[in-house]
Structure formats: structure tokens, C-alpha cells
Structure 1
């Protein structure tokens, strides 16, 4: 299955670049990192989702994850948001319809097999 993952977090003026990068590292095992003036963008393949997959299993929120991921499907892309604050302490927490205090990690997954990817990341 082809898969390209991008996760982007904005750096607020009151935030430390290292902490934003740590939040992303706690969720994704990325291949590449791009640091801009006010953002951090990480990217990779399906293997970069392994940490998030394990966190979903540990927290037992795979049903919620399935619902959020399915809601974010647009053709060959899946988009969703994670709480940056929760990610900093190693907790996967989806943001659905409201903004978290420190902002979100915006995730975009492009794949040729959307349903198979959702099943893989949320498998029981």
C-alpha cells in the first residue's frame, strides 16, 4: 500500500521549537523534517504511523479513531487533527470540531487504499 504522511504543527510565539518538535516525535516516526519560521512539518511513509497506531491501541480508542479517520476521507486523502498539548506528553488525542488551547497537529495521509489504511491503523 502506498502511503505518504505529513504532519504540521504551528509554533506559537509563546512556544519552544524543541517542544513542538518533541510533540511531533511522540506521535510520528518521520523520515524528514522541515522547520519554517512558524511551523514544523514532518513527513514519511506508512512506517511513520507506527507510533500513533500503538498509542491508539494502548488508549483503546480505536473505534473513535476509525470514526474520525473515516470522517476525514476525501478521495485518496485522510485529514485529521491531534492535540499538540496532549502529544507533548505522549498522548494521542483527536481534535474534532473545536480548537485545543495550544493548537493542533494537522495530519494528512495520502494513500491508494484508504479503507485498508484505516483498518490497519485501527486494527484490534
Structure 2
């Protein structure tokens, strides 16, 4: 299966922050991103979520991720917010509720191919008792 996605990443840079550190936070979770500072925020784009998916598996937060992705799904896109400090450490921590005073990293994923559901199943597969269910499990 070939996946075709566009991932837009933005994060505000407050006066008390260093833009390079915000860029590093983005790159730690989304390697391949080339963060650039533009008008008080850092922006980046990637076309793969493989490393992000590895982090979700390693941290065993697949169910949480699936909930975030499907809750925000609108047509062929889904979005989510991440905590900057956790991302700086290479950790995925979804930002829910009140935004952090320094702002969060906003990620918007547009799936061209296959469907959003199939792509989410690829990066954050459904689980049973905390373990990913793979198509092999159905045979």
C-alpha cells in the first residue's frame, strides 16, 4: 500500500522562547521536517509519519492517538495538538483541554491515499489488551 499524505505543522513562538528550540521540538517528533520561522511561528511540512508512528507504538498510546485522530477527522483530514516540551524530549504528549501558555504544536494531516481510516489503522492500529491487532490476527 502506498500512502500519500501532506502533514502541516505549526507552532507559535512566544517572546520568551527561542525559535530554534521550537523547531527542534518539531524535528524530534517529525524527522525530515525542516522547520522555518515565519511571522511569530515555526512552520514545517512532512510527508511521512513513520517515526511518529514508532513513538506511538513505543509509548503504547495507540488507543489515545486513534481517539484524537478520529475525533478531529473532517473529510480527508485530521488534526491534533502536541505539547512543545514533551516534543522537545522526543515524546508524544497530546495537548487536550486548555492550550499551554506557550502554545502547542498543531499538526494537520491530509490523506490523499488511501482513506483516513486506513491510514490511521496503519500508523496507530487498533489494539486488544494494549497490543496492536494486525491483519494477520484475523486469519
- 1:111 matched residue in structure 2: 111
Query: For structure 2, which runs of at least 5 residues remain unmatched after alignment?
Result: 126-131, 133-139
TM-score normalised according to structure 2 size: 0.81
Higher fraction of helix: 1
Q: Residue 5 of structure 1: SS of its match in structure 2? A: strand
Q: Residue 99 of structure 1: SS of its match in structure 2? A: coil
Where in structure 1 do 4 or more consecutive aligned residues deviate above 4 Å? none
The structure having more radius of gyration, on CA atoms, is 2
Q: How many angstroms apart in 2 are the aligned matches of 1:26 and 1:34?
A: 15
Deviation at 1:57, TM superposition (A): 0.7
Alpha carbon RMSD of aligned pairs, Å?
1.4
TM-score normalised according to structure 1 size: 0.91
Q: How many angstroms apart in 1 are the aligned matches of 2:84 and 2:25?
A: 6
Q: Say which is worse superposed, 23-32 or 66-75, in terms of deviation.
A: 23-32
2:27–2:33 CA contact under 8 A, matched in 1: no
